Amino acid sequence: MLTEKEMFSNLIWMFVLLCSSVTDESYIRNADIFPSSPEIERGSSLKLSCVLRKNYTPQRNASHIIWKLNDELIAPENYNIVNKTVSNITIHNFNYSTANVECLMKYSDKELPLVHTEVKSGFPPDMPENISCIYFYDVNLTCTWNAGRETSLTTNYTLYRKLMSSPGLNESCLTITESCSFSYPDNAYSSDFCFQVEAKNVLGASLTECVPIPLQKIEKFAPPEIISVKKIPGIKQLLTVTWKMPEKIIPSKHIICQVQYRNLYSNFTKFVNVSLNSKKNRISSCNLTGLWDSTDYSVAIRCVNNESTFWSGWSGEKNESTEENAPSGKVDLWRVIESSRSSRNRSVHLMWKPLKSFPPSGRILGYKIQYFPENKAAHKRTYNSTEQKMTLLLNEEAHIISVTAYNSAGESPEAILRIPSPDEKSSQMIEKVVASTTNEEMVVQWITSEPETTKYVVEWYEELEMDPFGRSWQYVSNSTKWKSNKKIFKPFICYNILVYPLYGSNVAAPSYTQIYADEKKPSVGPVADTGILGKNEVTIKWNEISKAKRNGFITNYTIFYKPKDGKELNETVNSDVLQYRLKSLQANTQYTVQIMASNRAGGTIGEPKTFKTLKLDKEDIFFIAIPVEISILCLIGLWITCVLKKHAFKKVFWPDIPNPEESLAVEWPLASSVNNSFLKRMSSQTKTVDFEEINVLEYCFPEESQEGSLLINYENHVSECTGINTKGMTNRDEKILHNEENEAAKSLSPSMPYIITDQFTRSQMHSALIPGKEVRPIEVVANDLCGSQQNPNKNEEHDDEEVLRLEDFSEKALFNPYLKNSVKTREFLVSESLPEHSTDECRSQPGALPPFQPNVLAQSYITVDMFRLAKGASSSTSSSSLAPHTTSSQGSALMRKRGQT
């Protein structure tokens, strides 16, 4: 329900809207919103009305109006339909600083925009606080204040200046900021002013009380101008400053000026206050004393009214240097003695730097260097230099060197060093040097064996630095500890640090250490190489990483090795180990190995190396080689034995087979043998016999029924033997056999048995070529065999005479058909019991032979050969010889006589 007050308010708004529509019928708008662009206090309720124009039909009235806030539909419960043309909206707790509210017509599911307005919310102004003013004489008067909370609405400020003695006389200054100024000539000087500020916006207004502020207390004038800053010749440590005051200042007031001077060498600042009378002293000056010699200073000035709280701004700075004085401190002198290539001369590199004394004496113009042999002061030499280094070439004597710095005011005290002779040996006073780092510092500590030594020199330089002048040094007094900023050391570079004890002008032997200011992992890894390869082990070698790429101290090496298609293994060794033997490897296996070098910051792996283990190692080869070598030695020994004992082995393994022509069982006509046409043809065509064409007859044994017979008829058995052995003969041999058969028969007695007294082998086929000898009957041979047992010595006397030599038949060599068709290997043995029989038994049974038993050694057997008969014979006869023989030491003398080599 609407209250009476709300109804009355709505009627008034409707009346206003109707009047506006009557007065402006030509304005074509669908609706109006009221109030337009309202500004309300934040957090309060917003009320708006949307009034439709008369051109809307009855089908479109206020009931069809909807409202949106920032394009979002407002809930219908906030609507209020007054009549057909007016719709009200109420938004509670409006907290938007700025928002857009829109009135729309909804008809037939369509939304038709009618009118919209922008709504702002804010706060009423707070009372301004902290009013302060600055008075620039004859320029302006400016006041500032603190407005308080932000209103978010347009707020206007008014500054009032009032005379307290005349409250009706006041001046105002309008602004929308927190500052306002009264400019000349509206800024008359008075000590009886008060100031007041009013703040105002649509939501309200606030006014401060009038605050009295005397102008002399808020006066601020322009900075003074420095005319000059000078030093007075002959007066040390003094500068004179002269400046000029500004013209626009309050007259008849005392002025205080503050002179600031800053030491540019140490950046140390001091202030000096000077009192002035504004009427008399437009130009003022003062002396700055207690300054450092030959030091640059920067000077600035500002001034203030002695009643004011505001200083003027600082004047522009001016620089000047004080008078110089002779240098008061010695230079820091150091030397590097280079090893001499000859005993007569050596290079001494001198380096120095001016002592950083406080205060400095002045600008150094140069340095004077003097040196002389220790025992020859009259030989002093002097050099001047503007540089801070020099190289002297000295002989083997000890020398005294001094360096002084000079400027326009004089020279510094001498810095002296003694250069010992090369033969001098200085004592080791420092036992140990330890270097370490922190986040910001490098710290070096040492232990000395001479507590009375109080002065030292710490020298440091890069390990790869070759220039002696590239070294740095610093003197340390009354301490065995030295600290320095770590930033002066390059990261990842190894530095050599040496500590020298000093006693007087002498320098003792140094102690040495190394350090990295910062470390990172090595730039490269070691390159692996394989040494001695084995079956189950290998030696891995690698070289040290170059010092420039280590980036830190190498702490260890890690060897990674992996068999093909296997698991990776690793071994870690110390940094001083550059080779390692990997064991328990698989034989005949390919491995990949890599080496990682590590320092405190990490590790880097080198390039991979591939190798393959051996199938056999030295021990295996050794165990294989020993039996082989032993076998070779045995073979060599056997060969040597065979060479030395060849005659003995020959008699044992290859005994001589006797020549049938030399048989005692039958006599061979020499002429028939010599004139044999076949042999002649053989000897004329070739000087040698092709033994490969010689065929050996197969065994031809008698039947068991004939084992008792003493003699075998040649005519009955020769066909058998011949038939067997001629199966493998060529047609050529068969032809020769039949053509020459009759000729051989003429020279032989029919059915004459013969005896073979030795073995025959192919290697002794040369015995086939023999001269014709007498053929003896078998009875004679038997007698000789039995007789040889009784007279062995007698037979031995004729051995040399009976042995045939090749030279004897070089011209009359005849082919022996007996040997050509002989059995491969035959033994003609006399019973081993032969020695047990008496000579008489032998003689009484000349034709008795033991029965033949196949495959039994040491028994008699029969050989049948074909003999070629002499040409012209009408018939051929053959004979077989049957003879007993033995291979034992008891063999007949005939065997020894007829043997052939």
> Which of 461, 276, 433, 431 lies closest to 351 in space, CA to CA?
461
Interval 412-433: pLDDT, tens: 999 999 999 888 888 888 989 9
pLDDT at 180 over 50: yes
d(CA 104, CA 383): 104
- The first and second tokens of residue 778, run together, are 């078998």
The pLDDT confidence band at residue 342, using thresholds 50, 70 and 90, is low
First to last CA, the chain: 165
Rounded alpha-carbon distances, angstroms, from residue 183 to 130, 146, 166? 21, 21, 21
C-alpha span between 687 and 806 (Å, rounded): 13
pLDDT of 496 over the 90 cut = yes
What is the average pLDDT across 647-661?
75
Give CA–CA dist 725/718, Å, rounded: 11
pLDDT per position as a tens digit, 817-854: 444 444 444 444 334 344 443 334 433 333 333 444 44
pLDDT band of residue 690 (cuts 50, 70, 90) is very low
Angstrom distance (rounded) from CA 222 to CA 641: 135
CA-to-CA distance for 554 and 525, rounded, in angstroms?
11
Q: What is the pTM of this model?
A: 0.46
The answer to whether 459 and 475 are in contact (CB under 8 A) is no
- Dig out the tokens for 775 from the structure: 């053929």
- Look at residue 300 and tell me whether its pLDDT is greater than 80: yes
Q: Can you give the pLDDT at residue 665?
A: 59
Nearest to 528 by CA among 494, 562, 564, 551: 562
Mean model confidence pLDDT for the chain: 74
Most confident of 338-342, 764-768, 880-884: 338-342
Separation of alpha carbons 254 and 644, rounded Å:
146
Between 731-746 and 677-685, two packed helices, what is the crossing angle to 10 degrees?
130
Inform me whether the pLDDT recorded for 85 exceeds 90. no
Q: Provide the 3-class DSSP secondary structure of residue 502.
A: strand
The whole-angstrom separation of Cα 159 and Cα 161 is 7
pLDDT reading at 212 higher than 80: yes
pLDDT confidence of residue 252: 67
Q: In the structure, what pLDDT confidence band is assigned to residue 392 with cuts at 50, 70 and 90?
A: very high
The stretch 378-386 carries a mean pLDDT of: 92
Mind listing the pLDDT tens digit for each residue in 482-494? 999 999 999 999 9
Residue spans of alpha helices (H) in 514-597: none
Residue 600 token pair: 């405190």
pLDDT score for 25: 39
> Which strand (E) or helix (H) includes residue 66?
strand 65-69
Of 15-29, 106-120, 233-247, 333-347, the poorest mean pLDDT is in 15-29
